[in-house]
Chains A and B, each alone.
Chain A
Amino acid sequence: MRNVAIIGVGYTPVFVSKRIDVSIAEMANEAANAVFRNTGLTIDQIDAVVQGNMQPFECVNLPYLWASEHIGAVGKPVMRIATGGTTGMTTLMCAYYHVASGLYDVVLAVTWEKHSDGDAQVGLAGIVTPEIFTMVMHGLDLITGRGMGGTSGGSTGAAAYQALSYLHHSGADPEHIDKMAALERSNAALNPYAHLRKKTTVEDIQATPFISWPLRYGHTCPTTDGATACIVASEEKVKELTDGNVAWIIGVGSCTSDPCTANFIEGQITDPAEQESCRIAAKKAYEMAGIEDPSKEFDMAELYDGFAHQSLMYAEKLGLCKEGEAHKLLDKGAFNIDGELPINASGGVFSTNAIGTSAMNRPCECALQIMGKIEGEHKIPKKIKKALAHGWGGLFQYNSVMVLSDTPKKSS
């Protein structure tokens, strides 16, 4: 298998609630243009294109064909990825597979979501439409959420079960979620490509209402319009096309469990906070990357946190600390930008969530930190040699993990 590096990243100029001035295709085009501008490459130098987003959010089912010209895919093989929240990382992994396999040398990955063209809550319901309608036919009270099967607060309501189970098993308090939320929102304030950019205190978070206890409005991600593009290349092409300042993808892993929420028809049997699939994905990625002790070897991590408790929970599942220790490290300041292990210096998905891009922005932020090309004050003030990126999605079931490094793997 060949070594593969991220050679450049391109974002839309902004990630905001509503881009009223561009269509979906034009927005994807902005990101593609940005990565060409940042790398100096042209469309002709791209061998293949992978595109990622989630179809139910905008009800556009073949966006990679509709926007083929806008993302530079004409005359090239193009593939579309949709794996829920993990879509972005799965898209980048697909581009990685193209190059690692030796089939292609330079591959463009483009991800986007334009939530304001649809309705995120309807889109999320679209993941389980047959199940929900079957339940409604059998007496589920969807509107009031009372009784059997009833749940409310939309996706936050579903995430609240996971959050409470995590708090119960880890010994963390709801106040730790407030603290993590305040840390990440304050990081986002430093990141020009973040959506919710406001320096935020724990008190600010605690002033927001509960949607579904233990989760507050201030623990919940926004819905964002934005696109991200990224170019990956083989080691030979890195030498030919770049000055060598790239970020190497040295380990990848992804894994699914059974659906552990909303699995009404066959019955849910797994704790949504167990996340065994995260451990399995991490084990695979760490073996590939030669990571022996994840709690010591990473200089930073970008974790997928649609809800603020997930940064703490996944830090544990990914082995960055022991079970039940993430909130203690948070209290010590270890996860701050200038801490021992900065987590979500970008502000995380929790501050910016254009879903198709969300899990690709994690490795892209790692790559930019490694390359020293961060625009904004969320640059981590130490040399980043190894970085961990994580994606989460599906029905609380799917996890993807990517290990990035400033040096390529030695050929075996």
Chain B
Amino acid sequence: MQHLQFGLGIRSQIANSLAQQKHPAIDFVEAHTENYFNPHSLSSHQLSQAAQHYPVTLHGVGLSLGSAQGMDKQHLRKVKLCVERYQPALVSEHLSWSQVDGQHFNDLLPVPYTEESFKVFADNIKQFQDSLQRQILIENPSAYLQYADSQIEEADFLNQLSAETGCGLLLDINNVFVSAFNQGSEGVIAAGKRYLEQIDSHRVKQLHMAGHTEKQIGDARVLIDTHNQPVRDEVWALYRHYLSLSQAPMMVLLEWDSDFPEFEVLEQQLSLLRTHADSAKNAQELSHA
């Protein structure tokens, strides 16, 4: 039987509730590493309290593993201190870049998937893992553009990075859908399924699920990865599809970053993570019967 754990991102709006008590629907909490650099802050105190109730995973957003100029060493040192302090179950970062010439952009910017980018990521991931003395996971980003000189498909790029560096993968199912939609793929669900089938599921240790927002830009519709909505039906469909492909134990996270609803809505979303996982497993068993 596949072992799945279901977690929630800890954010300032709900940190107090997670710090005060163990919610039965939540198996673990995930924190954005950069919010916990200062051990004396309220957020660090709340995370320490929450860690008494839940396993913690740390998810970085600012190390910029795709920077051609390399990582910011000071930033890496702060991440390392955070990892030592909280002893997280998993440590993850993104397949993206966010700094060049000393300027940081506080965003997950896309890279072209080329041999040069591959070498940059591989070197930085190895350095990151060597520094922490542990495996990290890399997450697929959401993208609003494509580069003309990309030569490798994103799923292959991730598989090869994992094989080259030994890093694990964090598969964000919502990002798969958002990117497929924004890149104008014909048949978005089919494109998303192909992506999930292409990913080496043995390397995936964590899933992210979230909501997105649709915007009209000129004549085109664009999906923005806002994490402020319930998960959309198409993303549930991709989630079920992926779980029907994988037997690996995994931590499944619900991300919600802004426009926070009542806590009951988050609990309902967590409950749906379990329900859809069960239905994927039932379908898998039926197909094997």
Q: Do A and B bind each other?
A: no
